[in-house]
Amino acid sequence: MHAQIARICTSFIDVPDKISVAIYFAGCSLRCKDCQNRELWDPRGGEKKSLGEVLTKIKSHPLAEAVVFLGGEPIEQIDFLQKLCLAINDKEKVLYTGREFEMLPKALLEHLNLIICGPYRSDLHTDGWPASSNQRILRKKGKQWQHLISMDIQKTFKSSTTKLTQKF
């Protein structure tokens, strides 16, 4: 199984207070007016990568606590995304999507821990996280998804800040 992947890199910003591996999926049909990743719209962009290649790349980031799926629109390569999620057992799995939470396939939700959803809108830009105030952040607790508001976000990531400090 293969996917068009634009890049894979270390990220310090996509999950606050965590080191993560960011996997940029190529292709997005949503064409949001304010998109800042237009170079990732082409579904033939990036490089064709096998599941094994992507997993090897993730393993080469041993300090990463999370894997982030973004793009582009990862949902548009859903079969690959689901297989990838199934194969990752030792890291938090985070999805950035321009689609709303209610539109995401249930089978995918089972494998994710954190979701940032909705299109970026420059008129609602926040200088924070998420990047625009229309976007929602949802974290799974047990089997339930909870919508985080800003105070919750501070509490949620306080413990990981401590862990990060200890590690270095």
Q: Write out the residues near ligand SF4 by the rule CB under 6 A.
A: 28, 30-32, 35, 37, 40, 71-73, 98, 119-120
Q: Distance between CA 61 and CA 116 in Å, rounded?
A: 22
Nearer to ligand SF4, 65 or 76 (CB): 76
Nearer to ligand SF4, 29 or 161 (CB): 29
Nearer to ligand SF4, 5 or 65 (CB): 5
Contact 62, 11 (CB under 8 A): no
Burial zone of 29 (CB within 10 Å; 0-12 exposed, 13-18 middle, 19+ buried) = exposed
For the CB of residue 79, give the shortest distance to ligand SF4 in the complex, in Å: 19
Would you call 29 helix, strand, or coil by DSSP? Answer: coil
Contact 135, 117 (CB under 8 A): yes
For the CB of residue 72, give the shortest distance to ligand SF4 in the complex, in Å: 5
For the CB of residue 151, give the shortest distance to ligand SF4 in the complex, in Å: 26
